[in-house]
Amino acid sequence: MKLQTRLAISTIILITILSSCSRPDCKNSNPVFNQKQPGSTEYKAELVKQLQTIDRSKLTYWFKDYVEAGGRELLQFDVQGDGLCAVMEIEVEDWTRLADLRKKKGASYRGAEFKDLKFDILQDSSSIRILFKNYSDIID
């Protein structure tokens, strides 16, 4: 096989692999998500409101970042689907399933899809907390 042909095939394969690992683009039209930070009470309140009105089975969760703030370790996920395009900040109390992610501070997990991400929403008059529960698989 000629060198040019092998190079062309290799390039096509590489482009296919790289494009299959990235999350689909989503466009946010919610002004709260555009103007507030994911950790703010306003942002979380709007996110919870949206999560209560849509079909959560249609959502995908892509790991965005590991954040240390105020003595807490948080995970940020890009959440999208069914008209939602936002960032969700999750607190983790039990790191058993996420020990490697924690150790690496998320470095090798960015962009990975967390399938069937489960979380609890705890809300009172002054705060909103989203707590990690589980996931079925990580697709990197």
- Strand segments, DSSP code E, in 28-83 are 60-69, 72-81
Identify whether 124 is part of a domain. Answer: yes
Identify whether 9 is part of a domain. Answer: no
pLDDT tens sequence for the chain (140 residues)? 565 555 545 444 434 334 445 667 888 889 999 999 999 999 999 999 999 999 998 999 999 999 998 899 999 999 999 889 999 999 999 999 999 999 999 999 999 999 999 999 999 988 999 999 999 999 98
What's the whole-model pTM score?
Answer: 0.81
Identify whether 117 is part of a domain. Answer: yes
The residue range of the domain holding 58 is 25-139
Nearest to 64 by CA among 105, 12, 10, 31: 105
Identify whether 70 is part of a domain. Answer: yes
Using alpha carbons, list the distances in angstroms from residue 91 to 41, 64, 104, 127.
14, 14, 17, 13
Identify whether 7 is part of a domain. Answer: no
Contact between 90 and 119 (Cβ < 8 Å): yes
Identify whether 118 is part of a domain. Answer: yes
- Structural domain total, the chain: 1
How would DSSP label each residue in 13-27? HHHHHHHHTSPPP--
Identify whether 37 is part of a domain. Answer: yes
